[in-house]
Amino acid sequence: MGKKKVIKKSEEEVLKETDKMETAIAKASSKKSGSKKIENGRVYVSATYNNTLLSVTDDKGNLIAWSSAGSLGFSGPKKATPFAASKVVAAVAEKLKKVGLSNISVIVKGVGGGRDSTIRSLAGQGFNIISIKDVTPIPHNGPRPKKARRI
């Protein structure tokens, strides 16, 4: 192993470097704190038999916040319960307080247990629900049935 080289800098060079770092940090923080206040948004709820997912977007469709029962630590069949759905709403509402979202349109998809409790929890968190839309896919006729078994 060779000798380690120690670089000595004058006070002026050190001050210049710290100024550069401070301006870079100020620019980065101003980008985050300069986020726009959003009043209207959409909440997409996907309530399956296995999980409850919640995504919040602005009117253009840009994602603001999301959460799921699985990401909060619920596992197995507990993810699809109404209690887990209410906890998901609480987690997302905490993220949305920074943005200032107040008016929401709710779009629900799926047949899981978290459908109703998600909407109730959103109302309980103080959001003004403008509309509720159900976009659960329903088959009109479905696939062709299997042929009858012959014995």
Q: HEC string of the chain? A: CCCCCCCCCCHHHHHHHHHHHHHHHHHHHHHHHCCCCCCEEEEEEEECCCCEEEEEECCCCCEEEEEECCCCCCCHHHHHCHHHHHHHHHHHHHHHCCCCCCEEEEEEECCCCCHHHHHHHHHHCCCEEEEEEECCCCCCCCCCCCCCCCC
Position 4 pLDDT exceeds 80: no
**Worst-scoring range by mean pLDDT, 15-29, 57-71, 73-87?**
15-29
Digit-coded pLDDT (tens) for 98-141: 888 889 999 999 998 889 999 999 999 999 999 999 999 988 88
Of residues 146 and 16, the one with the higher pLDDT is 146
Digit-coded pLDDT (tens) for 24-65: 666 665 544 446 788 899 999 999 999 999 999 999 999 999
**Worst-scoring range by mean pLDDT, 20-24, 69-73, 78-82, 128-132?**
20-24
Name the phi and psi angles at 146, rounded to 5. -65, 150
The span from the CA of 26 to the CA of 30, in Å, is 6
Determine if the pTM surpasses 0.85. no
Domains assigned to the chain: 40-134 (3.30.420.80)
Position 85 pLDDT exceeds 90: yes
Which residues touch 5 (CB under 8 Å, ≥6 apart)? none
